């Protein structure tokens, strides 16, 4: 085996030193998990659920109402935090099958997580 020169020993020592000092490979850090996305409110679903709840509340307050009309062009859906939506609108109903009708406004809180109406407020 050939004898190593002094320069070769120095190069070998330097190479070993570099190898020992080399930073070990870093493990890739995982990004923090994203919080679950809020359910996306589908306006039509929120409006349909609120219309049913409003109609039920009118019937509960007036056991034998005549026609109940909800004015679709007056309905608004406003997304809220937490997967909620506020639906507002107007309507009319006949309290006793007479020709006289009563107008009202409503506010409905729709919960997209449970797909249910949490609250209905009527103002006559």
Q: What is the CATH classification number for the domain harbouring 63?
A: 3.10.450
In a domain, 62, yes or no: yes
Domain assignment present for 31:
no
Looking at the structure of the chain, the number of domains it has is: 1
| Digit-coded pLDDT (tens) for 14-28 | 565 556 556 566 676
77-88: average pLDDT: 96
Residue 50 resides in a domain: yes
Identify the band that residue 34 occupies on the pLDDT scale cut at 50, 70 and 90.
confident
Residue 64: per-residue pLDDT: 81
* Residues 111-120: tens digit of each pLDDT: 999 999 999 9
In the prediction, which pLDDT does 18 show?
Answer: 55
Q: Where in the sequence is the domain holding 49, given as residue range(s)? A: 43-123
Q: What is the mean pLDDT of residues 50-58?
A: 97
pTM of full prediction above 0.85 = no
- Mind giving me the DSSP string for 30-99? PPPPPPPPPPPP-HHHHHHHHHHHHHHHHHHHSSS---EEE-GGG-EEEEETTTEEEEEEEEEE-TTSSS
């Amino acid at each position: 085996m050939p004898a190593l020169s002094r320069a070769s020993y120095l190069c070998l020592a330097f190479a070993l030193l570099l190898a020992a000092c080399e930073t070990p490979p870093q493990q890739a850090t995982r990004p923090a998990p994203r919080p679950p996305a809020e359910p996306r409110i589908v306006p039509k679903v929120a409006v349909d659920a609120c219309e049913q709840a409003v109609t039920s509340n009118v019937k509960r307050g007036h056991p034998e109402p005549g026609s109940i009309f909800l004015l679709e062009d007056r309905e608004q859906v406003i997304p809220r935090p937490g997967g909620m939506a506020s639906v507002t609108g107007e309507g009319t109903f006949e309290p006793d099958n007479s020709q006289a009708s009563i107008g009202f406004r409503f506010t409905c809180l729709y919960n997209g997580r449970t797909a249910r109406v949490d609250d209905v407020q009527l103002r006559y």
